[in-house]
Amino acid sequence: QTVVTQEPSLSVSPGGTVTLTCGLNSGSVSTNYYPSWYRQTPGQAPRTLIYSTNTRSPGVPDRLSGSILGNKAALTITGAQADDESDYYCALFMGSGVWMFGGGTRLTVL
């Protein structure tokens, strides 16, 4: 069974840089999976940050960037701020009309 993997938790210092990754339990993530990234704060619906690997949604600052690193999709946050503290989810288009989410990464800024 295919599983989309993310780090369960990460931490970053204010002003620092952190990279969240999105992989597959078997195989590599490429641009053909059209990876997208979503942020969710408690009690709110998710918000789209990045799509098609590296395209920012309107209003997303350029200190957030998406890429492919090795065999995974990646979301890099530079100049981390307190309000970056959230849950982050990646999603992959698996083909044949099926999408999958990763398990999410809880990012702490401390």
Binding site for other proteins (CB under 8 A): 1, 34, 36, 38, 40, 45-48, 51-52, 55, 57, 87, 89, 91, 93, 96-104
Residue 24: closest CA among 96, 88, 75, 73: 73
Q: What is the phi/psi pair of residue 51, to 5°?
A: -140, 165
Rounded to a whole number of angstroms, the minimum distance from the CB of residue 26 to other proteins is: 14
Q: Which is nearer to other proteins, 10 or 34 (CB)?
A: 34
Q: Shortest Cβ distance from residue 89 to other proteins (Å)?
A: 5
Residues 20 and 105: their CA atoms lie apart, in Å, by 7
The answer to whether 50 and 36 have CB atoms below 8 angstroms apart is: yes
Select 13 or 104, whichever has its Cβ closest to other proteins.
104
